[in-house]
A = this chain, B = another copy of it.
Amino acid sequence: MDRLDHIRAVALELFAGKGYEATTMADIGAVVGMRAPSLYKHVTSKQDLLAEIMTVTMRELLAAGRAAVATTADPVERLRRATEAHVRYHARHRREAFVGNREIRSLVEPHRGRVLELRAEYETCFRDLVRAGIAAGVFSVTSERLASYAILDLGMGLAAWYREDGEHSEDAVVWQYSEFALRIVGSGG
Listed in ascending order, the chain A residues whose CB lies under 8 Å from chain B are 18-19, 21-22, 102, 105-106, 141-143, 145-147, 149-150, 152-154, 156-158, 160-161, 167-168, 172-173, 176-177, 180, 183-184, 186, 188
Contacts and interface: CB of A to CB of B under 8 A. Distances in A.
Given A19-B21, A19-B105, A188-B183, A157 B150 contact: yes
A58 to B, nearest CB: 16
A152 B157 contact: yes
Given A143-B168, A186-B188, A22 B106 contact: yes
Contacts of A141: 176
A147 B188 CA distance: 14
B153 A105 contact: no
Contacts of A18: 105
Contacts of A150: 154, 157, 177, 180
Nearest to A176: B146
A106 B188 CA distance: 40
A9 to B, nearest CB: 20
Contacts of A161: 149
22 contacts: A19-B21, A19-B105, A19-B106, A21-B21, A21-B22, A22-B105, A22-B106, A142-B176, A143-B167, A145-B167, A146-B173, A146-B177, A147-B180, A149-B161, A150-B154, A153-B153, A153-B156, A156-B156, A156-B157, A157-B157, A183-B183, A183-B188
